[in-house]
Structure 1
Amino acid sequence: MTRRTVTSRLSDNIIEILKDIGPVLYYGSYWVTYALKSFPDEELREVASQCASRQEMRIVEERMHSLMALHHPNIVECKQVFVHNSLLYYRTKHYSRSLEHEMRQNLREGRRMSEEQILHVACQIAQGLAYLHDPKKKSRTGYPLPVISHGDVCPANILVSESKDQFVLANCGVWCNKLFGLVSTISKSYTAPEVLCGQEGNPAADMWSLGVVIYELSTGKLNEPGGERGWGELSEVPSEHLKQVLSHLLLVNPAERATAKELSAIIDGLGRLVSNQTNEYQCSSLTVRQNKHDFTNQEPEATPLYVLLSSGAKALVDAVCESGMDATGLGISWSRRSGKEASAHVTRRKECWTPKM
């Protein structure tokens, strides 16, 4: 079979897919997602580039082909990628809506996500980011995959399953600022300060963006960064637990932000505390033994993270040790804020890691 024959067949396939485009499902600032009439369980996303050349679009197409090797329950599965008339298309599993649409519906109906629901969303997205950022991940066939920065974590790029119990990241790693110059296109409200200043996207920038999403879910609105360390004013966040989560993410210095793996562990500990009251929260990023400490006499909303870690999170510490997280991980992030009050449980686990105070 000649190369021309293969190319011809691919072109015919692309034409058939484009003819199969159905109604618009949802859209973002630079893309539109369509239903496929012949494939009700799939959808087609059309991405426009305002300034990319044909060669640059081919580079993105090749990058997207490499992303087809990703496999994780919180990362959208990419089934086909192609470029047509300077538009990038990729086929994925169908999701009923985006988190942005869910938030708009909540706003119309005058309601807001509960603390448990926000932790559930944050945990799943943190798990997806932890997978993207992992330098040791491999494809289904076993070959190594590089560290991938998402580059545009925002509600429009978080898709929601029909049952509303699964949240997945779309558009993973598509955009490169130097290649496209799309910082003005991507919503600045979710973009990390260093990226707005011209730096390339990185895993720490993804964590800032996730922090902004959590803030918006918590308060129903966006705010502007301020202060030397980030968003110092979190008074409008109604939950002390969510304030503690945000205090690890909305930091101007990227080196001070929690990693996705650290955040998964932190949310797991907080989620299990909240679930003692509601039994609604589930997160499986780490296998954490059930906490046996009695929190019944404490107000859940008034429990700072350092109290949780020092008084009732031995299970979390055990889980971090069992997961193999090293001394540069979770310990540094929370011990900066917990001081000596967290030392009692930590010193018992020195054989695993010793946090830097």
Structure 2
Amino acid sequence: MDKKLIEITEFELKTMSQFSHPGVLRYHQIIRSNDFIFIVMDRYSSDLDKFITDHKKDSEPIPRELMLSILRQLVNALAYLHNFRKVDVNGNTLPAVVHRDLKPANVLISRDGERVVIADFGLCKDAAQSGKTFAGTPVYMAPRLLYIVKLALPLMSGLLVLLCMSSLL
């Protein structure tokens, strides 16, 4: 495994292991062996990108109640991540975190479609330090990052995920 990739992976694992929220992917165990990292985590059958694509392919709309449930879970998870007053299981204060690459492919979904979690925190950043750099998938970035317009557009990525799903109504 490339050293830079190991650094990114270890940063992501360290970051995610601190969080305890039903909308954030949980790691149960991390096993390092030579150049490999094995991760034991909750299992999800797919991601939101495939879920949306499958519904489009089958010309089957996502039920409104399910779409709203998914959005509610995402908004709750983002509110948790962005909260400056959250604590870990030991009562230690955790930083507010900005994901920086929220898109349907980084939202895992259960087989029945009822449960979603945010995954892939490789580009995340402490919210208190973000703003100096930007990263992510351009099509899902807030327009202010692409056009250098200083507008407050919180949860823009979440709204784009909703737009992807709502095109199936």
TM-score between both structures, scaled by the size of structure 2: 0.78
Q: Distance in 1 between matches of 2:153 and 2:38?
A: 26
Q: Which residue of 1 aligns with 2:141?
A: 191
Contact 2:16–2:25, Cα closer than 8 Å, also in 1: no
Deviation at 1:138, TM superposition (A): 0.7
What fraction of aligned residue pairs are identical, expressed as a percent?
A: 23
User: What does the per-residue CA deviation read over 1:170-198, in whole Å, with 9 as the maximum and x for residues that have no partner?
Assistant: 113x21599xx994xx4322111233357
Partner SS, residue 130 of structure 1: helix
Residue 208 (str. 1) matches residue 152 (str. 2):
no
Contact 2:84–2:95, Cα closer than 8 Å, also in 1: yes
Alignment coverage as a number of residue pairs: 160
Contact 2:12–2:120, Cα closer than 8 Å, also in 1: no
Q: Distance in 1 between matches of 2:58 and 2:17?
A: 38
Structure possessing the higher radius of gyration over alpha carbons: 1
One-letter code aligned to 1:152: D
Q: Which residue of 2 aligns with 1:155?
A: 104
Structure 1, gaps ≥5 residues long: 1-47, 221-237, 239-357
User: What does the per-residue CA deviation read over 1:144-175, in whole Å, with 9 as the maximum and x for residues that have no partner?
Assistant: 10001111111111111123211111113x21
One-letter code aligned to 2:163: Y
Structure 2, gaps ≥5 residues long: none
Residue 175 (str. 1) matches residue 123 (str. 2):
yes
TM-score between both structures, scaled by the size of structure 1: 0.39
Q: Which residue of 2 aligns with 1:65?
A: 14
Partner SS, residue 113 of structure 1: coil
Deviation at 1:94, TM superposition (A): 0.8
Contact 1:195–1:205, Cα closer than 8 Å, also in 2: no
Bigger relative contact order, structure 1 or 2 (CA pairs below 8 A, ≥6 apart): 2
Assess, with a 3 A threshold, how the Cα gap between structure 1 residues 207 and 84 changes in structure 2: closer, same or farther: farther
Contact 2:102–2:158, Cα closer than 8 Å, also in 1: yes
